[in-house]
Amino acid sequence: MADLFERLKAALADRYTIEREIGRGGMATVYLAQDLKHERKVAVKVLRPELAAALGADRFHQEIKIAANLTHPHILPLHDSGEANGFLYYVMPHIEGESLRDKLAKEGELPIPEAVRILRDVVDALAEAHEKGVVHRDIKPDNVLLAKHHALVTDFGVAKAVSEATGAQKLTTEGVALGTPAYMSPEQATADKHIDHRADIYAVGAVAYELLTGRTPLTGTTPQELLSAQVTQTPDPVTKYRESVPPALAQLVMKCLEKKAADRWQSAEELLPQLEALATPSGGITPTGTMPVDRVAKRRWMIAGGAVALAAVIAVIVVMAALPRGSSVTLDADRVLVAVFENQTGDPSLDALGPMAGNWITQGLQKSGVLQVVPWMEAQQASQYVASEAAAGNVRNRVTALAEETGAGTVISGAYYRRGETVQYQVEVTDVMLGQSLGALDPEIAPLDSPDDAIEPMMQRVMGFLAINFDERISPQASSVMQPPTFEAYRAFEEGMAHYIARETQEALPYFYQAFEFDTTFVTPLVYAILSHYNLNQWAQSASLVGILERYRDRLSDYDQYWLDFLKAAAAADYPAALRAIRRAAELAPGSKAAYNRAEVALRRLNRPQEAVEALLSLDPERGPMRGWRLYFNNLVSAHMALGQHAKALEAARQYRQIHGDDPTTLMYEALALAALGRTEEVNALVDEIAALPEQGLSQGNVIMIIAVYWRSLGHIDAARNTIDRAIEWYEARLPEAKSAAAWRINYARGLYVADRWDDAYTVAKPLSEEFPEDERYGGLVGLLSACRGDREEALEITRWLETLDRSYQSVRGNPTAWRSIIAAALGDGESAVALYRQALAEGYIFDFPWNWWTLAFEPIRDYPPFQELMRPKG
């Protein structure tokens, strides 16, 4: 065995570092390994040598590729497979958790709600596989992994490959657990050549029986006895061994275990809703992540019989059962989402009609001022995300997925079709909380050469429907909405939005301007052009466009008007007014980016960390507009730290790392939180990890320096010295070509400053200030170093130079004044330092955190009461 292990290590050495064996089963041995290319932990499963010899590489590859094409939240994905020196192997993610077999061994029978949840996940995975024609053939607790309250099914395709190559009966006789006799269907036990997906249904029944009773349905002392029992014996009822099993669940399990495949549930799709129903309060089992009943009770829809004609082509959609178990999303009965309409014409030139229709209906609903409407950008992002997940096979019901992504209890969805020389639109309104369609509107039809003609009447029809069924105040507002833009203008706007959502802000701008030029009544592109300039810190352009958009204010919804007020105030650096405006926008659209911008302004402009925490915690970092948005955690951790909530900061930092992976920034925020808790060894370990990462520009040295600064601000001088020495070592280890760059030199100089090596830092920084005489970053650093070195005259000379700089409408606005404050503090002039810092903030400077390297300059005035009051959190 030792020789076999060494041969395997050698065979895979160019791709994987095999560390140790972590499991062994009838068909394969599992090893923990390091994926060298992707730098991640993986599980490598290696088939037993006798199976590999019988199977052969070609047949193995033919069958195992089935698993590679299965993508689903409850199916463990396949990373890689192959043959190496006679070994047949396949590679999967290494899951931090346990197998269902391990859990049963420890606990025996499981709580009924937990058992139902696990079964639901397994059946959901099988529904996906069966839809693609894949039968697992070896469903058992060993092939179900448990991770973070979810179940993952593994080893798709393996049992079929081995079975067809070698024969099920032969393997079972040899003790290989193919199909595993305790869970094998009668047709598998008799080696029936016509096994189909219903064999998996039987195995689900056997697993369910064991989860509920702690024992398998049938027993035997040998594999052969078990196979015979599967064909000839009937299991005792579940309730014989556990009377508390609800009757509906007991019947479900026993129907799975019927001897004849035709008497079982006929598909996983048929079985899945039964399990979903059992997981709801009405099913008699304590809910595990379902929506609160009081939310459903609050629903105010009143379906008016005959008010709307149902389109025959659209069936009632039952969506409640499709909500993923364990979802933390609480749907809001009063929140409405309008999705991007699906293009079913087959003509890509009409793609822009889908978002155009969704956008215009959203605009109309927002103008009504009655409903809580998901803002269009968030709706479009959600639609794009759900569409991509649906294409990958991860979404069974788009309407439900949209609801979960946005928290909307009501979803308006639609599609458009080519009918001869016309385009036909169909719209449906779904109450996701009640799990039913509320109605489909009569189709709207427009000529093919002017397909956008139907959008305005369709919007009016939707609003009329909602007025009848939801709130009569909606209807009168519909007529006040402007006509939709020209198709040409919207197509340009949509191109800009695609770039904007992809965070290609500079590329988006020309399209927004072009859309407004095509149709000057279409003012929405101006809103996004202002946002683009704002995100690019182009204050002059932002202020100019704000002035233009003010003339069209009455065309905007209340939500967009508040955004306009926010952008106007931000462009003028009036952040108290900006905060008031964005608060109102967030009140109109909870869960939108308005809430994030409220947090950003509160924390970084107005030193209000408590408000920032409240705003951020109203958002879900893994859904909707915060999906993939790293700055969410930057701000959340920083706000908790500012409030002294260090344990909460650590929790948020670890969630950051879990979601976004290991990189210098995620590791840095965890290290900062640990430093605040005084956990020196753990911080040092993280610094080691940061330094060992593949080089990513200068980020590793910079974040190690930040950690050192924070140690020093906390009074841990030795830890600070050791850490800054690590940063300087990292900088000095760079290649010569890197050291010639201005970025390396300025960061190296900063590190030397943090290490109190002021003369060395000055030697590096002074030439930079001469090379870039107009850049206050270099000149300001020289002024700070001059103050530290006791050269008061040079420090004051640089301060006078900084005073001459005008940065009011550039990305660095407020920076020259901030540098003057920093130099004054280093000179010990507390009064001037505080006054200048206040002025910098008023000019638009971003509030500093104690781990910013230049904050060390404030050490001489740290006990100065006006400075302490300035830095004290304000809310």
Residue in the structure block whose two tokens are 């003609």: 453
Write out the two tokens for 830: 């507390």
**Of residues 35, 121, 124, 138, which has the active-site annotation?**
138
Beta-carbon-side half-sphere exposure of residue 713 (alpha carbons within 13 Å): 23
| Residue 649 to residue 602: CA distance in whole angstroms | 18
* Residue 797 neighbours by CB under 8 Å, 6+ apart: none
Task: Please tell me the total number of residues recorded for the chain in this structure.
Answer: 875
Decide: 687 and 671 in contact? Cβ < 8 Å.
yes
Query: How many of the other CB atoms lie within 10 Å of CB of 13?
Result: 12
Cβ atoms 491, 451 nearer than 8 A: no
Phi, psi of 371 (to 5 degrees): -90, 160
The verdict on whether 138 is a catalytic residue reads yes
Neighbours of 243 (CB within 10 A): 8
- SS3 labels along 345-380: CCCHHHCCHHHHHHHHHHHHHHHHCCCEECCHHHHH
Which one, of 289, 221, 301, 212, lies nearest residue 254 by Cα?
212
* Strand 40-47, strand 87-93: pairing: antiparallel
Distance CA(329)–CA(623), nearest Å, equals: 9
Task: Give the per-residue SS3 of 522-585.
Answer: CCHHHHHHHHHHHHCCCHHHHHHHHHHHHCCHHHCCHHHHHHHHHHHHHHCCCHHHHHHHHHHH
DSSP string, 386-441: HHHHHHTT--S-HHHHHHHHHTEEEEEEEEEEEETTEEEEEEEEEETTTTEEEEEP
Sheet hosting strand 150-153, strand order edge to edge: 98-99, 144-147, 150-153
Residues annotated as part of the active site:
138
